[in-house]
Amino acid sequence: MPVLAIKCPDCAHTYQTLVMVNTKMPERWSCSNCGGDKARPLDEIKPIEHPWEQEGHGSGCLCCGGAPESSRNK
């Protein structure tokens, strides 16, 4: 699952999102700030691998102990 950096030209908001495995890349990206549909992945920022797919992900993962017990999903 690649994590992509997305930028909206309407409000200049930059955010990250992931694309699930075996799914098609969206033709349009919606801005998580203004809701505009002109956001685009930033070509100059290389997609990163989702932390859950990295070896030894436990330290930063909500499901494996990276967050206090009270904030974990059960």
User: How do strand 2-7 and strand 14-18 relate by DSSP bridges?
Assistant: antiparallel
What the block records as the tokens of 52 is: 């859950």
Tokens 């992509």 correspond to 4
Of 2, 7, 3, 1, the C-alpha closest to 42 is 7
User: What pLDDT score does 14 carry?
Assistant: 93
For 14-71, write each residue's pLDDT tens digit: 998 888 878 888 889 999 999 999 999 998 887 777 666 666 555 555 555 444 444 4
Distance CA 73, CA 52 (A): 15
Distance CA 17, CA 3 (A): 5
Please tell me the pTM assigned to this model: 0.61
- Which amino acid would we find at residue 25? M
